[in-house]
Amino acid sequence: MKFNRKNKLLIGLCTAAAIIIIKLFCIQIIDDRYKMDAENNSMVYSIIYPTRGIIHDRNEKILVGNKVAYDLLVTPREVEEFDTLALSKVLDVTPEFIKGKMDDYRKNRRRIGWQSVIMIKQMPQETYMKFSEVEYKFPGFRGQARSIREYPFNAGGNLLGYVSEVDSRFIEKNPEYKVGDYAGKTGIEAAREKELRGEKGFNIMLRDSRNKIMSRYQDGERDKEAVPGNDITTTIDAELQHYGQMLMNNKVGSLVAIEPSTGEILAMVSSPGIDVDMLANIGQHYGEIASNPYKPMFNRAVQAPYPPGSVFKLVNGLIGLQEKVVSPNTYYPCRMGYHFGKNKLGCHAHKSPINFEESIMMSCNAYYCYILRDLLENRKYGSIGEAMDKWKEYVQSFGFGQKLGSDFPSELGGFIPDSKYYNRVYGKGGWKATTVISLSIGQGEIGCTPLHLANLCATIANRGFYYIPHIIKDSEHVSIDPKYKERHYTMVDTTHFPKVIGGMYRAVNSGFGSGGTASIAAVKGLDICGKTGTAQNPHGHDHSVFICFAPKDDPKIAVAAYVENGGFGATWAAPIASLLTEMYLTGEISKERKYLEERILEGNLLDRVKVKGKK
Amino acid sequence: MRTAGGYRSRGLGKTIDWSLVICWLIMILIGWVNIYASVHSSEPSSIFDWNSRSGKQFVWMASALVIALIVLFAIPPRFYEGFSVPIYIFVTGLLVAVIFLGIEVKGSRSWFEFGPIRFQPAEVSKIATSLLLATYMSQLGYRIGRMKDFIITALLILLPMGIIVMQSETGSALVYVGFIFMLYREGLSGWLIFMIGMAILTFILTLTASPFAAILVLISVASLCICLYSGKFRWWLFLCVPLIILFAFLPQLMQMLVEKMVDAETIAAIADNVEGVEMPFIMKIEPLHVLLGATVLSLPFVAFQAFRERNTFTHLSIISCLAGIVLVFSTNFLFNDILQDHQRKRIEVLLGIKEDPTGVGYNVNQSMIAIGSGGLTGKGYLNGTQTTYGFVPEQSTDFIFCTIGEEWGFLGSAFVILLYVFLIWRIISDAERSREGFTRIYGYCVACCIFMHLFINIGMTIGLMPVIGIPLPFISYGGSSLWGFTAMLFIFIALDRNEKKYF
């Protein structure tokens, strides 16, 4: 064959044809993508939704279960002329609603194609029964069973979180979800979405060219069963959680209880919270919840950075002992406060001078000013900045100033200042120990969450270490991160802790009139150890704080209570925390403390709390 | 059969190229049944129903057969050569007239409407141009290498092309580019095709990769050509190739150098546009400028060498290369300011610069889904779901190939393509065999037109070409197109027959 121009052109012709045929080969035989897309156009997938995993409490009681609800599906292209009025009667909606929906579908018919869309979500069972009797009159309409959440206990609304239909933003981030799927949005439902959701199944049906469903595709060979979600066991004690919520009713704040020997969270209340009744039907209540001025969605227990108040003296005291600036036998005087220059940090009336244990028992402010000043002006460290940073290191070893790493979503870290921070505020060299003296009593630039405080309490109860607080327990299908089984020791020797515990014991159990600040929390035979706190609040009433654990020698529970605008620690927080402790350890409230329980349950502090949008 | 001169001429059976006629018949039948398939679900009716497109197409087919018979038996073949000039002038007049008198269809004015019949002069203009080209170029003493002859030839092609562009029928105008293959056969330098190819490649590279890559490829090709021409292939292999590779990695090398010499904070500050941070000298250098600098510096040496050797080829290569570089820098201007909005979008989607599955990309995407879902053997006749349910637009005209791909699968589509290859191959062979320049040139024109339509139309449906709305010859629905191509093909068959008759 000659290599002339004619043949060159013929070669060119064959090359061009070869390119086209190769490309055809690629898209018709090699690449499956186009077939799948085409199947989407001509096959109908009837989705089988899996049941979501059940959430148990620590005693295998069901916190979150499932019940059946029915969605009404419409395939707009199959809908024929129908009696709008009759359908609206059956479904218990207005005819305008149905007309509006049908108009919507007509507008979006190109996008919808032959898909089915949900017209009414979660019909009551009776409505569905009525509908299924007359379903044959309304081609294109059908019901689809779907399991929705049910809550046997009114416990832990905020903790459990809610499940709702995914929106377009969610799908963008999680492409494995499709329109119409449900997903956990907050709390445990969100954190454990992977385990709880299960896997969707489907039946594939074929349509003919007249859009009628003809048969199962390949006799159902490619159908898929739905796989139910895995059950989850939480560390929550449902009864205790419920009781805690009752105690915190009509108060703003939180209540956290931890089992010190494991770090398991027994109860976590953020008040005001979300009622579980609202969770099941979050769509209807969302507006109400979101516009509530007390922000029930806001989980104060892990997100609100509060000043800890006098509770923080325990930390400073322990650091002082470790740094040897104070010993159990150190006596300091207190003349209604700590005087420096012309200034004074005030204190309440109590005997003077006092030693270390008594300083905790009576919650003396001056005593801790001495300690902090000695800590910061310690010659051991080159400068106050260095001493400050060392102090921060100590504080952080208790878990403060950082996220504890709990398995709870959206935990916040609070704030602990360091020299860099004060250098920025006051300029380098522009501050000294007395400038930051309020840190000694847990005021000033400290922010910590109630979870931090409960963790502090558990650390002291354990005499020097903590487990990261968590709410999920090991169970058949779910294993928790091994980090929740590691002890975290603080930088303070374990030998120093009994001295602090002694003070906390005396604060509760010395009897009225002794000067102990928390006598109201005492319960006979329980050996509760506690520390009050009254966090100053420039915007209104002080916040009432209390942490306690019990029994002293074999701690089973550590509690932190934080009541916004509650006044003295002993007024609200101490009774609440001690009642919770008593309930957990004995299962009831003793007769002589019934009056206290009554006062707490009926107490209403909501008016004291200043909220935006309310006069 | 007796003729006037008393010679015995050969009979009908031996003079007509029956393979072309059969090929034509198969194609229009394929078109007909697939047009029926593409519309049958929205207009369920008999294939002969006059109200449906398949019924109308049957009428077009019958009339096309009449046209074929007229062309074969009623018009003496000599007529075409003799009347090519008036035909060309008349059709060009129609092309101009349609801009003012035609009706507007989808933004272009290229259709005349006479009651129920629509007619697109552009379809006839291909024939007229082919006839005139064949007449002009088959004259004694015509040499395409001569400047005057070349310019007139080019003008004959560019005139109808320009008018069609003015009708906003860029797609139909693009078909005329195909005549370049005929010109090549008739002696046009192959370098012209090569340079047009390079220009398109440069354009695409600049848009999809970067001007840097485009210029590097240009220089590589130019240096390869120069070295090949002067027999210094080894030079190219051992000197140019390493240099080209070095330059290919220049951007990365410079990035590494910058990271070595400038600390990370400064880089971050510059990236954040922080004021007061002075940009280190090394960061101001662009790889593109280094490459251009190197090119400009080395050019005089090459040019001088060529001058000493009296090598015009090298000079021309250098000039073409420089023209290419100018093209690279004017690409953005051409692309953004000369092209119309919808054309630009189509090219962007084709080159993957922008994804647009619902807008411009919708057609191509749906068409590829339809074809791809056909698989090896297809879903079976009338069983397609994509084309019949209206996912694919223009399913019986420009996108008719989707129906073939979906219902007949890879085997069916490959058969159709091979049928076209056979047709074009056969036309070229017949053309080559003819003793008259007129028949040969006209045959090549027919082959080129069919090829361009085939490649652009099918290329568009499978995502190889931008969406350019031109029909698939003999298969797409439409009277204008079917008549036009039938007339074009049968004029060639008649010419071919005329030659065989007496020899």
Three state DSSP letters for B171-237:
HHHHHHHHHHHHHHHCCCCHHHHHHHHHHHHHHHHHHHCCHHHHHHHHHHHHHHHHHHHCCCHHHHH
Rounded to 10 degrees, the C-alpha dihedral B205/B209/B211/B213 comes to: -80
Minimal CA separation from B391 to chain A, in Å: 9
Please tell me the total count of domains within chain B.
2
**In terms of domains, do B329 and B413 share one?**
no
Q: Which two tokens stand for residue A594?
A: 């019934």
How do residues A399-430 score in pLDDT, each as one tens digit?
Answer: 999 999 888 777 888 899 989 999 988 988 88
**In terms of domains, do B261 and B359 share one?**
no
Q: Which residues contact B396 (CB under 8 A, 6 or more apart)?
A: B34, B35, B38, B39, B53, B403, B476, B477
**Which of B338, B361, B381 finishes a domain?**
B338
B3 in any annotated domain = no
Give yes or no for residue A615 having a pLDDT over 50.
no
B410 in any annotated domain = yes
Among A9, A35, A42, the residue with its CB nearest the CB of B184 is A9
pLDDT on residue A38: 61
How do residues A54-73 score in pLDDT, each as one tens digit?
Answer: 999 999 888 888 888 888 88
**In terms of domains, do B21 and B161 share one?**
yes
Give yes or no for residue A43 having a pLDDT over 70.
no
**In terms of domains, do B166 and B199 share one?**
no
- Which of B456, B451, B444 shows the shortest CA–CA distance to B188? B444
pLDDT on residue A244: 93
- Residue found under tokens 């400028």: B289
Minimal CA separation from A221 to chain B, in Å: 20
pLDDT on residue A489: 94
B4 in any annotated domain = no
Residues in chain A: 615
How do residues B248-301 score in pLDDT, each as one tens digit?
Answer: 888 888 888 877 777 776 776 666 666 666 667 777 777 888 888 888 888 888
**Which of B338, B362, B393 finishes a domain?**
B338
Q: Which two tokens stand for residue A175?
A: 């492409």
**In terms of domains, do B234 and B167 share one?**
no
- Residue found under tokens 């820098």: B329
B343 in any annotated domain = no
pLDDT on residue B275: 63
CB count, 10 Å around CB of B33?
Answer: 17
pLDDT on residue B6: 42
- Which of A510, A501, A520 shows the shortest CA–CA distance to A577? A520
Phi/psi at A169 (5° precision)? -65, -40
Query: Residue A28 and residue B432: Cβ atoms within 8 Å?
Result: no
Rounded to 10 degrees, the C-alpha dihedral B39/B43/B47/B50 comes to: -110
- Which of B178, B162, B182 shows the shortest CA–CA distance to B170? B162
Sign of CA dihedral A287, A288, A290, A293: positive
Q: Which two tokens stand for residue B164?
A: 């069609």
**In terms of domains, do B296 and B272 share one?**
yes
**In terms of domains, do B269 and B388 share one?**
no
**In terms of domains, do B54 and B179 share one?**
yes
Query: Residue B414 and residue A35: Cβ atoms within 8 Å?
Result: no
Query: Residue B369 and residue A31: Cβ atoms within 8 Å?
Result: no
B7 in any annotated domain = no
Question: What residue numbers bound the domain in which B215 lies?
Answer: 193-338
For chain A, the 3-state helix, strand and coil shares in percent, each to the nearest 5, are 40, 20, 40
- Closest residue in chain B to residue A8, using alpha carbons only: B185
Residue type, A279: L
Which regions of chain B are under pLDDT 50?
A: 1-7
Q: Which residues contact A481 (CB under 8 A, 6 or more apart)?
A: A407
Query: Angle at CA B366, nearest 5°, toward B360 and B370?
Result: 155
How do residues A193-224 score in pLDDT, each as one tens digit?
Answer: 888 888 888 777 765 444 555 566 666 666 77
Phi/psi at B499 (5° precision)? -70, -40
Interface A:B, Cβ pairs < 8 A = 95
pLDDT on residue A218: 60
Q: Using an 8 Å CB-CB cutoff, list chain A residues near B197.
A: none
| Domains defined for chain A, CATH in brackets | 44-77+88-233 (3.90.1310.10), 238-281+298-608 (3.40.710.10)
**Which of B279, B312, B338 finishes a domain?**
B338
- Closest residue in chain A to residue B424, using alpha carbons only: A13
**In terms of domains, do B76 and B168 share one?**
yes
Decide if A449 contacts A305 (C-beta within 8 A): yes
B6 in any annotated domain = no
Query: Residue A29 and residue B385: Cβ atoms within 8 Å?
Result: no
How do residues A465-513 score in pLDDT, each as one tens digit?
Answer: 999 999 998 888 888 888 999 999 999 999 999 999 999 999 999 888 8
Among A5, A24, A29, the residue with its CB nearest the CB of B185 is A5
**In terms of domains, do B171 and B204 share one?**
no
B8 in any annotated domain = no
pLDDT on residue A378: 87
Chain B contact for A35, CB < 8 A? Answer: yes
- Quickly state the pLDDT bin for A14 (edges 50, 70, 90): very high
- Quickly state the pLDDT bin for A188 (edges 50, 70, 90): confident
A473-505 burial code (b ≥16 CB/10 A, e <16): bebeebebeeebeeebebbbeeebbebbbbbbb
**In terms of domains, do B131 and B197 share one?**
no
Query: Among the listed ranges A343-347, A394-398, B221-225, B266-270, which one has the minimum average pLDDT value?
Result: B266-270
- ipTM tops the 0.90 cut: no
**In terms of domains, do B380 and B444 share one?**
yes
Chain B contact for A5, CB < 8 A? Answer: yes
> In B, what residues contact A, Cβ < 8 A?
41, 181, 184-185, 190, 368-376, 385-386, 388-389, 391, 405-406, 409-410, 413-414, 417-418, 420-421, 424-425, 428, 432, 451, 455, 458-459, 462-464
Chain B contact for A30, CB < 8 A? Answer: no
pLDDT on residue A613: 45
pLDDT on residue B223: 84
